Chains A and B, each alone.
Chain A
Amino acid sequence: MMLSRSTFSRNAPRALQKQCSAAGASSRRGMASAATPGLQYDVTESAGVKVANREVAGPTGTLALVAKAGSRYQPVPGFSDALEQFAFKSTLKRSALRINREVELLGGEVSSTHSRENIVLQAKFLSGDLPYFAELLAEVASQTKFAAHELSEVVLKTIKFRQQALAANPEAVAVDAAHAVAFHRGLGESITPSTTVSLEKYLSAEALAEYAQQAFAKSNIALVGSGSNSADVAKWVGDFFKEAPTGSQLQNTASKYYGGEQRLSSKAGNAVVIAFPGSGAFGTAAYKPEASVLAALLGGESTIKWTPGFSLLAQATQGFSQVRASTQNLSYSDAGLFTIALSGKADQITSAGKNAVDALKKVAAGEVASEEIKKAVAVAKFRALESAQSLETGLEATGSALINGSKPYQIGEVAQSIDAVTEAQVKEVANAFLSGKASVATVGDLFQLPYGEDLGLTV
């Protein structure tokens, strides 16, 4: 079908108006309404384990175990990496090989990941196989053997490869360093220990087994499902998680923002990460929707093809073909980090970095057109809703919210809170960033890369 130009141009401004009006969310019948079937999670508790499930009709299902045991909570470096790698290894009942072959025969997929706050063990399967995978997750959580030879033969080797992969990615190193200067301990722990950390000193199978008892304690985990029947999920989880260890949650001191500067020499490439205290996850005290709008406004990466897009950083770095800029608001359960990452050629990063800080100053001075902010609100809303809807990010966010006792992701409310962000709020948050202490992490050719002060920031 061909759309005539006039139809399109007549509707476009109207679409924008509808998207951005603050009252729009209530007056409009849309996917964001609270009663949306399939996207809302049913929250229950069975056998002392918190369970959330959404019934999306389809032939496959997903079940994920979210444990509050990411790198933030680990007692010594490398524990959450090792625990993640030990998932689906030999248990007291069956060997790793058998688990592997059984999953292959059933046609499922199991994986494990960890973030700064959580370890996620995830299983995707054909709908009929829910009981098998619920049992498998329970077995992995409570009966993993933690054999010493698996640690040295498999787990340690994989972690070492991951350390090297991290060292080869200057932007990831810079983001880690920015977290370290921003939060020191806790959230500041690097997500995978750097190559210079001697893991053998810290990792032992016995200590890991002990840590797993706490990490997978009933109060420290949540199960999040998608695609299966809620009653079934609650029933099978209740059946199999009866023997899960009981205990208290892993404790950690509340995050506090410090700020500062760190410079690391590296041959892998160049990256500068400028970070400010951002918005926490939805439903927590640190939630500031205006920070995510500012992240969309500064942007840097285009959402459409063949054009730099409207975002301020994309405009500011247009002349620098060998620099990649992106802005993100990384949100955690009690804090957030707003990061502007620049990576590429060292000399271009220096000038692009100055432009980026100037762009932020422009926002703080209120010199940004209101249409731009409206566009940013739409992008921020899209990103928030899309991450809630997509499986990978949505499962972890929901599980994390359940464990931390905050509100689970309510799509309608998220949309409303972002819609309600005003120009003044965005200006205010940019001002707060510039007046407070920034965290600057620089990785690469330090001779050429700028100091935070050179970029015009207070560090």
Chain B
Amino acid sequence: MSAPSLANYIVKRPWLKRWMMPIAQWYTDASGYRRLGLRADDLIPEENDVVQKALKRLPPKEAYDRIFRIRRAFQCSISHTLLPPAEQTKPSEDVEYLSPIIREIEKENKEREDLDALVVRR
């Protein structure tokens, strides 16, 4: 599930993007999930049909890695520790792996709704 965001607005304007990127990177880093070894897509709430379906569509390796990261972060959280810096998620590793599938499913659902509400004029 994607939250409302200004991202598209900013990305379309290169000057604004240049200006915002350092702030965005600082903010993401400060939010702390990378120090628990997670990726941004691991934080998407999964308690709904769309994300459940997307999780089923993940390739087996991706699905395994996701569960591993979540369990590792859970352990860190219980023991009130952070991962050693070598194991923390690097910004280059923090890529979207689930969101594209979610967007695809949302598009499918939207198409179905549109076609269901279709009015045929002949």
Contacts and interface: CB of A to CB of B under 8 A. Distances in A.
Interface in A94-121: 95, 97-98, 101, 105
A95 B57 contact: no
Contacts of A98: 111, 115
Contacts of A95: 108, 111
SS class, residues of chain B in contact with chain A: helix
A67 to B, nearest CB: 28
A70 B115 CA distance: 35
A267 interface: no
Interface residues of B, number: 9
B86 interface: no
A95 B120 CA distance: 19
Contacts of A148: 57, 59
B64 to A, nearest CB: 16
A97 B111 contact: yes
A149 interface: yes
A148 to B, nearest CB: 7
B112 interface: yes
B57 A97 contact: no
A97 to B, nearest CB: 6
A431 to B, nearest CB: 59
Contacts of B120: 105
A95 B108 CA distance: 8
Contacts of B59: 148
A398 to B, nearest CB: 35
A149 B57 contact: yes
A151 to B, nearest CB: 11
Contacts of B108: 95, 97
Interface string A62-98: 0000000000000000000000000000000001011
Contacts of B118: 101
Contacts of A149: 56-57
A101 B115 contact: yes
Interface in B101-122: 108, 111-112, 115, 118, 120
Instruction: Pick from B59, B108, B120 the residue with the most CB of A within 10 Å.
Output: B108
A97 B113 CA distance: 11
Interface in A120-158: 148-149
Nearest to B101: A149
A105 B115 CA distance: 11
11 contacts: A95-B108, A95-B111, A97-B108, A97-B111, A98-B115, A101-B115, A101-B118, A105-B120, A148-B59, A149-B56, A149-B57
Given A97-B108, A149-B57, 6 more contacts: A95-B108, A97-B111, A97-B115, A98-B111, A105-B120, A148-B57
Interface of B: 56-57, 59, 108, 111-112, 115, 118, 120
Interface of A: 95, 97-98, 101, 105, 148-149
The 5 closest A-B pairs by CB, nearest first: A149-B57, A101-B115, A97-B112, A95-B111, A97-B111
